[in-house]
Amino acid sequence: MSVTLIALFLLSASTASVSPPSVVVVGAATVTSSSSDTLSKHDINGEEDTDRTTDLSHDGTRKKRLTEDTMCSNIREMEYAVRGKIVIAADKIADELKQQQQGKKYDFDHIVYTNIGNPQSVGQAPLTWPRQVMALVDLPPSVGVDHPIASELFPADAITRAREIQNALACKSSGAYSHSKGVRSFRNDVATFITKRDGGIATDPEDIYLTNGASAGIVNMLNILIADSTWYVLFKTLGL
């Protein structure tokens, strides 16, 4: 029998009450156990689990664990208007517009999405300088900032900034892991900006936590603020 674990699973043969497993893998792992009877009747904490032993299909194989019925009800019942029914309908129409050839069903040929803040979808051109810097940062130095003709392709200030960023990154690579709070050099820049903005009040980079966009930051804060199911968050809609 095998049990799939999304965790670090360690089992000591000298202290375990069951026979040691024949395979132990770290991560999203499949653990194959030589004591199938024990694991089939008990969960990994050793407690009886009748649901697991009876959750079988008509042919004796196990049913899917994650279904709409078994998933978290909060996720299943949640409503997200920004990407809700209207956007789903728009996506369907957009697919139809791509496929239609003769006998047009609609009197327009494309959809402009305004459900999210995406200025480029309504014609705003991309900001050039940040893209130049990012392109140089993502390239290995030999074909980017240090390439003999880099100055012919990119402005000097973009090359300088890209080199500063690469020097701040582990292995000078944008694909390398960084500190969980964000690259220290970037947090220093943010702290310096806040100090100047607030009239000289010192800001500690260790108090700066960089997130993967505003939405990720909001999720982190809500996870911190909401203690349990009795807590609620009220949002004020501006302009209404």
Block residue for tokens 């010192």:
202
Q: In whole angstroms, how far apart are CA 185 and each of 29, 105, 154, 208?
A: 36, 54, 23, 11
How many other C-beta atoms lie within 10 A of the C-beta of residue 137?
22
Place of tokens 């689990």: 49
Q: What is the pLDDT of residue 56?
A: 62
Please check the confidence at residue 113 and state whether its pLDDT lies above 90.
no
> Taking the alpha carbons of 217, 220, 224, 229 in that order, is the dihedral positive or negative?
positive
pLDDT at 16 over 60: no
Q: Which of 98-102, 130-134, 218-222 shows the highest mean pLDDT?
A: 130-134
Give the model's confidence band at 238: pLDDT under 50 very low, under 70 low, under 90 confident, else very high: low
User: What span, in angstroms and rounded, lies between the C-alpha atoms of 6 and 170?
Assistant: 28
What is the residue-averaged pLDDT of the chain? 77
| pLDDT value at 25 more than 50 | no
Mean pLDDT of 73-95: 86
Between residues 189 and 65, the one the model is more confident about: 189
82 neighbors 115 (Cβ within 8 angstroms): yes
Helix and strand numbers (H, E) in the chain are: 9, 2
